[in-house]
Structure 1
Amino acid sequence: MSRPSPRLAALDGLRLVAALAVLAYHYTVAWRIDGVRLPEYFLPRTVHVTVYGFLGVELFFLISGFVICMSSWGRTLGEFFASRVGRLYPAYWAAVLLTGAVALAFPLTRSSMDQGRPSLMTILVNLSMLQQPLGHDPVDGVYWTLFVELKFYLIMALVLGRGLTYRRAVLLCAVWMTVAVITPSLGSPLLNALTVSDYAPYFIGGIALYLIHRFGPTPLLYGITGMSWLVCLSRAEDRLQGVIAGFTVPTWPGLVIITLCFAVLLLIALGRADRIRWRWLTVAGALTYPLYLLHARIGHTLIRAAYEHTTAPVWTIVAATTAVMLVLAWLVHRYVERPLGRRLRNAVRTPQVDWEPIPQRAPVRERASV
């Protein structure tokens, strides 16, 4: 028997951990603070830990599989579309406009992470969230993950068209995993892109873990979760080696982190974290999305300005910038995402008949002319 899906506060906290991990990686590893030297020069001990922070993106994808399956259950395709539009675009539009304004005023041309000053057309195209297939640079480099998410939503929509059930969710996991494993060997970049083969195992693992949460554990669901975990580990090796190149750190901690991500989400799925109901975790979960969208380019600009105009230690600058970005994320959530999200959901929600086949009437025979 399925059980209801109350809000999982522990899941909100896990999302904030993922966002802060990515933030730490971007602030302390992925760019040149003074335009010349890597952060390892300023934070020689910190970077050997925060270099693994990029795996927060993988954790996001794992959580997304869980959350999207949970939020889609019992919904029609139209309701799913409205909820995703209302959830994604308000904070994203605010982030694009704020980040675009900062990038126009203070281009970071000496940073390996950031581009120079974007054009107005680039900023406008970014508002669609389709800048990648349209051939435009993102206003902020972190936006690449959003297009991955959009492709995941499209795959889920194919299932939702007929209604999401346990059997169809399991079938989706099995078919998608098979395609994702085989596709890279075919040498087709188009197929890789369409099937999201690089990150599909994380989404699939999240879906299987939600099924465990809703219907209880079974050998089949444990098997899908375990297979997802193994495929993720096998592919993480190359990604880890590419990211930590130049740093004297091993790859095995990254594999341990991925394993811990699966283990923690499994505990949540099994109800082991149901007693965690701290109210602040709900706020933490709400801040995650705007924080992720806003932190990189605006944060780099603040860190660069503080470094050039103050004598404060770099770690202090990074900590202060993190606090500023959390406040900015809350402001966007409170005054943009919450009010505009509701209005946008209502605006794009259409009558159910628009999403279902229109019943065909029996043809009326014309009378023979006399």
Structure 2
Amino acid sequence: MSAEPAAPGPAARRLHELDLLRIGAAVAVVVFHYTFSGWMQGHSPARFPGLGQVSRYGYLGVDLFFVISGFVVSLSAWGRPARGFVVSRIVRLYPAFWVAVTLTALVSVASGRFRVGFGQYLANLTMLNPVAGIANIDVVYWTLWAEIRFYLLVFVLAVVGLTRRRVLLALWAWLAVTAATQLGLLPGFVDLLGQSTFAHYFVAGMALGVIHRSGMTWELGVILALCWGNALYRGAGFAAGVGERYRTGFSTVVVCAVITAIFVVMILVALRRTESLGRPWMAHAGALTYPLYLAHAHLGFVVLAWLGPTVNRYVLVVGLMVAMGVVAWGIHAWVERPVAPRLRGLFTRAPGRRAGRIRSGSSATGKGC
């Protein structure tokens, strides 16, 4: 859900088109929560039975986040010391997260709609609360735990040094572990790191990063094909689970079509076929992705429950989305931008020294997301 500088490659440039994809994915998730998930779970009296037939598929924005994360985060570790990679992750992820967690906790407690304990709040600030089995304060934070486990694998690669061959070997190994897990050949704890439910997206993103650096090969094509096939298989199963949660149906055809579109678009980005579409303004929109994703859900549900009975539902949702955009801008402008260099200074002696890098998104995954 957060953007990340990638390592230099041929014709280094800012990937503005990824900024657009990221904010588009974030908006899809927001619309999903406000016009489908909210009223289906009883968090909002504003019902959207017609629009919900389309917006219910907005949760697939997270799938796009994971592919983008695999793409840019792995590239960001290329040629960077392992310690530098860790610092970049801490600096990029935590300041906005701390503010979002605090704001969400305060509003949840004040409204009485969501219970938040002080110990739960402190645990959430670490992002590692799932390790202790402590619930997330906000429903959207589950993706951060998936991202952190991915970062750990990238960190291991950074320790040994990223090369094209090492990355490809790592991708084949990850795919093998995923297949063995899905066949029940490995114990469940292995999936804590392997996370087979979404591994195909991270693997595909990393493969696309290699393509962006050095071009397409048959080996990378096979890896992408395997990832795409497993994404369709797991995506259909995941959609069935989501349908059970909301007691409604999801079209397997639509889910598979969206997943296929994600792969096609990201392949075009990796092959540099979308460069002409990028515009500088997209960077400003992309910078709002991470704080918007973090802050929108439970805060939005509180507002929907408060104003839903008296305000036109469409006016309310549009106004709420604008308001959440303002909140996201405030977190980015008043927290991320000023705090990031200071926090980086705590970890490095030369916080101002930056190598030229391809940039996608804001000041420093996605995400993510």
Asked if 2 retains the 8 angstrom alpha-carbon contact of 1:48 and 1:247, the reply is no
**Displacement of 1:303:** 1.2
Task: Measure the CA separation in 2 of the matches of 1:168 and 1:47.
Answer: 44
Name the residue aligned to 1:129.
127
- The 2-side partners of 1:96 and 1:270 are apart by 38
Secondary structure, aligned partner of 1:43: coil
Alpha carbons 1:12, 1:281 under 8 Å: kept: yes
Q: Does 1:103 align with 2:108?
A: yes
Provide the rounded CA distance (Å) in 2 between the counterparts of 1:15 and 1:263. 15
Larger Rg: 1
Single out whichever of 91-100 and 238-247 deviates more from structure 2: 238-247
Change (3 A) 1:33 1:302: farther
TM-score, length-scaled by structure 1: 0.88
Q: Deviations over 1:315-356 (max 9, x none)?
A: 2211111110011000000010111112112212379xxxxx
Alignment size in residue pairs = 340
Q: Deviations over 1:275-320 (max 9, x none)?
A: 1232221011110000000010001111111113x2x221221111
Which residue of 1 is the match for residue 280 of structure 2?
279
1:143 to 141, 159, 170: 141
Cα distance in 1, alignment partners of residues 156 and 322 from structure 2? 40
What is residue 355 of structure 2 aligned with on the other side? none
Q: Does 1:88 align with 2:87?
A: no
Once residues 303 and 140 of structure 1 are traced to their aligned partners in structure 2, the CA distance between those partners, rounded to angstroms, is: 16
1:1-370 alignment, distance < 5 Å: 3-32=10-39, 35=42, 42-108=47-113, 116-184=114-182, 185-186=184-185, 188-245=187-244, 246-308=247-309, 310=310, 312-349=311-348
Superposition deviation, residue 107 in structure 1: 2.5
* Separation of aligned partners in 2, 1:58 and 1:248: 19
Query: What TM-score do the two structures reach when normalised by structure 2?
Result: 0.88
The residue number in structure 1 matching 2:357 is: none
Q: Quickly say closer, same or farther: Cα 1:92–1:34, change in 2 above 3 A.
A: closer
Contact 2:181/2:188 (8 A) holds in 1: no
**Relative to structure 1, is the Cα distance of residues 36 and 277 closer, same or farther in structure 2, using a 3 angstrom cutoff?**
closer
Q: How many angstroms does 1:72 deviate by?
A: 1.2
SS in 2 for 1:60: helix
User: Contact between 2:101 and 2:125, CA under 8 Å: does it hold in 1?
Assistant: yes
Corresponding residue of 1:367:
none
Q: Offset of 1:118 from its aligned partner?
A: 0.5
Shift of 1:182: 0.8
Deviations 1:219-265 (A, max 9, x none): 11111111111111111111111223433552210110000001001
CA contact (8 A) 1:5 1:70 kept: no
Aligned-partner Cα distance in 2 for 1:250–1:235: 14
SS at match of 1:64: helix
Q: What is the aligned-residue identity percentage? A: 39
Distance between the aligned counterparts of 2:258 and 2:41, measured in 1? 30
Quote the RMSD (CA, aligned, Å): 1.9
Counterparts in 2 of 1:92 and 1:211: CA distance versus 1, 3 Å: same
Quick check: 1:99–1:139 contact (8 Å CA) kept in 2?
A: yes
Aligned to 1:356: none
Q: Distance in 2 between matches of 1:33 and 1:171?
A: 44
Per the TM alignment, residue 32 of structure 1 is displaced from its structure 2 partner at its CA by 2.9
**Alpha carbons 1:34, 1:304 under 8 Å: kept:** no
Distance 1:168 1:329 in 2: 38
Of stretches 342-351 and 208-217 in structure 1, the one that deviates more from structure 2 is 342-351
Measure how far apart 1:188 and its partner are: 2.9
Q: 1:33 Cα shift?
A: 7.4
AA matched with 2:235? A
User: Following TM superposition, by how much is the alpha carbon of 1:189 offset from its aligned partner in structure 2, in angstroms?
Assistant: 2.7
Asked if structure 2 preserves the Cα contact closer than 8 Å seen for 1:2 and 1:216, the reply is no
For residues 260 and 160 of structure 2, what CA distance do their matches in structure 1 show? 34
Q: For the residues of structure 1 that align with 2:36 and 2:349, how far apart are their CA atoms? A: 46
Cα drift, residue 38 of structure 1: 7.6
Amino acid at match of 2:293: Y
| Structure 2: segments with no counterpart, 5+ residues | 1-7, 351-369
Shift of 1:17: 1.0
SS of the residue aligned with 1:30? helix
